[in-house]
Amino acid sequence: MKVPFNRPSLTANELPYIEQALKEAHLSAYGNFTKRCHSILEEAIGVKSAFLTCSGSAALEMAALLADIKAGDEVILPSFTFLTTASAFALRGAIPVFVDVHPENMNINEELVAAAIGPKTKAIVPVHYAGLPCNMDALQAIAEKNNLLLIEDAAHALHSKYKGQEAGSFGAISILSFHAAKNVNSGEGGALLVNDPDLIERAKIIWDKGTNKGELSKGLVSFYSWQALSSAFAPSEITAAFLLAQLEQSREITQERSLIWNRYHEAFETLEAREHLKRPALTADIQQNGHIYYLILNSQNERDRLIEFLLAREISALFHYVPLHLSPAGKAYGRSHGNLPVTEDYSRRLLRLPVFKGLDLDSQAYVCRSVQEFFSRN
Ligand SMILES: Cc1ncc(COP(=O)(O)O)c(C=O)c1O
């Protein structure tokens, strides 16, 4: 039995919607499919404005422009994340300041965030790793107290909840990713979410390639002109048509993946009790979205051997994130706040198991059995 790590989810409507977009002959950005995606995201997540982008990385770059990040500003974020969480801000000349994560959930440690704040700090960028939300009460309080922007990297966390509220709705600005590996995908894709009403007009200009085209379409000006630094962030209507089909079923996709997540969690309870491994910590405050199921093994050697063991059984399991503060560009463009022992240790011991819509019960049972067998032999 072969179990891939991921299979991008598909619904029945991607092709019909793309055909419709072709018939409407509006293939560039800013059309009806894009508008429908925006409405769904605004309503489902509870944010004031959504803007589709070509990727989560593009949404982060748009966030850095919108936050008016300048050379020499500092942005606090975890080292345990995808590189564009940092690179988007470094592109503006800012310095990513890396802090350590909690061992229970690999999310940014709020006490270390507070300690890393200095006179140049402009923003805090928490990442909801694996779709388990960060402690948003604490992070919001720190951001407010220090007058800092909170920019949520919710790339993993569509429909995850913190105290019943959707991830992506806490930050002044948030981003989502619709990369093929994410729960809801359009191959490549993302979104910028804006909650701060004072930022919405500028977000529209940045999204409109730095122009006031929006005012032109309302008849408020007779021609449009260059207003702000920007780029081409919006995806084509073909991508938006594909994404709409996915977003219309995002609750069902999330539910199916969450059930898979819960089954893994139950299956490995005994192995955790016997101290063979650690599972991600679920607390009463958070609701996972089934994005990533990971285990922390007792050593890197054991993690690597388990990956090999599973591979020999045609099961694809992967590690995650070379810490940014240890990577060449992370060293060149960022700095660490103190030591990051949890990030360094846990990233060597973390293993991700297959999760995707359509992973059937037999395949998942085979994965669980194989992990259990590894420990009974070792
Ligand atoms: C935490 C995090 N942020 C941002 C991104 C960037 O998203 P994208 O691949 O859509 O550019 C990713 C991608 O995997 C990610 O894992």
Position 378 scores a pLDDT of 72
Distances in whole angstroms, Cα of residue 128 to Cα of each of 80, 134, 156, 213: 11, 6, 6, 34
Ligand 1 neighbour 347 (Cβ under 6 A)? no
**Hey, what CATH topology would domain 14-249 get?**
Aspartate Aminotransferase; domain 2 (3.40.640)
Distance 189 CA to ligand 1 centre (A): 10
Ligand 1 neighbour 177 (Cβ under 6 A)? yes
Position 368 scores a pLDDT of 98
Model pTM score: 0.97
**Cα–Cα dist 195/200, whole Å:** 8
Which atom of ligand 1 is the closest one to the Cα of 178? 10
Q: Whose CA is nearest to atom 15 of ligand 1?
A: 82
Q: What is the DSSP string of 251-304?
A: HHHHHHHHHHHHHHHHHTHHHHHTTSEEPPPP-TTEE--SS-EEEEESSHHHHH
Ligand 1 neighbour 85 (Cβ under 6 A)? yes
Distance 292 CA to ligand 1 centre (A): 13
Q: Where are the domains of the chain?
A: 14-249, 251-377
pLDDT digits (tens, 9 = 90+) for 321-378: 999 999 999 999 999 999 999 999 999 999 999 999 999 999 999 999 999 999 998 7
**Quick one: angle between helices 237-247 and 32-45, nearest 10?**
40
Residue with token string 């093994």: 297
Distance 181 CA to ligand 1 centre (A): 9
Position 352 scores a pLDDT of 98
Position 122 scores a pLDDT of 98
Which has the minimum average pLDDT: 28-32, 38-42, 238-242? Answer: 28-32
Mean pLDDT of 193-208: 97
Ligand 1 neighbour 185 (Cβ under 6 A)? no
Mean pLDDT of 11-26: 95
pLDDT digits (tens, 9 = 90+) for 102-115: 999 999 999 999 99
Burial per residue of 325-343, b for 16 or more beta-carbon CB atoms within 10 angstroms, e otherwise: bebeebeebbebbeebebb
Residue 189: pLDDT band with limits 50, 70, 90? very high
**Cα–Cα dist 121/118, whole Å:** 5
Superfamily of domain 251-377: Aspartate Aminotransferase, domain 1 (3.90.1150.10)
Percent of the chain scoring above 90 in pLDDT: 97
Name the CA dihedral angle for 144, 149, 155, 157, rounded to a multiple of 10 degrees.
10
Position 377 scores a pLDDT of 82
pLDDT digits (tens, 9 = 90+) for 50-90: 999 999 999 999 999 999 999 999 999 999 999 999 999 99
Distance 339 CA to ligand 1 centre (A): 25
Position 197 scores a pLDDT of 97
Burial of 5 (0-12, 13-18, 19+ CB in 10 A): middle
